[in-house]
Amino acid sequence: MAGAATHPEVNGSGSNPPQRRMTIKEVAQMAGVSYGTVSRVLNGHPEVNESTRQRVLQIIKDVGYRRNRAATTLVTSRSTSIGIVTDGSPRFGPVGTLLALENVAREKGYSTTVASVRPPYEESIPNALNTLEDLGVDGIIVIAPLVSMAAAVWRATRRVPLEMVAAGVSSTPDVFTYSENQELGARLATQHLIDLGHTDIAHIAGSMEWFDGRVRKRGWEAALKDAGRTAQARLATAGIRTGRESAQFRFLSSGNLVQTSSIARST
């Protein structure tokens, strides 16, 4: 019938066949340089003439060359891969940290493999570390917003360098820890309200199982103590289920003092 649509056969005829993967030797031949020169360009080695570097990079771009990581690992004993362990939380902080780690790793030429864990962490974290190590990662970063997660990390054995992201936590000889100063942030927020003349400053905190909740509480308490207002300190915890409104209601209905301001944790 005229005008009828035609379809490729089930076996794939009519579709574009997959392109053959270019090798580093072929890139070297096209650039008129040695295999070693291309390798140095790929690894960002400084001892390569700039015009040669640009020529090799242009050919790599033109032919769509992609490094074979498995072969690179065999030659260098490095996988250029980093493992990341996370609790799978949808909250802004852990998700933002995960995305930042992936972006920086990519910029440095590393791939990432993510393992999500859940309670009980004393079982799931060692299992995740073993899985990532078996995949040949060069190192592992654990995003540990929870006290129980960090405790499991400290107890776990490891075969590769291990680092952790956790608020207000100090490094140990075995685990280097990165942290943003959440305590200072809470302290500055509280001090700002004090400077505005507020007298009864409440703190709606997250769970004390979260490092963030603990250090923000410390910052709030420290600012109140410096201002001589510890007797008026009031605290409520608001989880995902209770919510900020529920915590505020408990504040306003629990005592004679009138709440003039509050600071709350982020979710």
Supply the pTM of this predicted model. 0.64
Q: Which fold has domain 24-67?
A: 434 Repressor (Amino-terminal Domain) (1.10.260)
**Which regions of the chain carry the CATH code 3.40.50.2300?**
78-178, 182-264
Phi, psi of 253 (to 5 degrees): -110, 5
Which regions of the chain carry the CATH code 1.10.260.40?
24-67
pLDDT per residue as tens, the chain (267 positions): 444 444 444 444 445 555 567 788 888 899 999 988 988 888 777 888 899 999 998 988 888 877 666 555 545 556 689 999 999 888 888 899 999 999 999 988 888 999 999 999 999 999 999 999 988 899 999 999 999 999 999 999 888 999 999 988 888 888 999 988 888 988 999 899 999 988 788 888 778 888 888 888 889 989 988 888 864 556 666 554 444 555 554 555 455 444 555 555 554
Q: For 182-264, CATH number?
A: 3.40.50.2300
> What CATH superfamily is the domain 78-178?
Response regulator (3.40.50.2300)
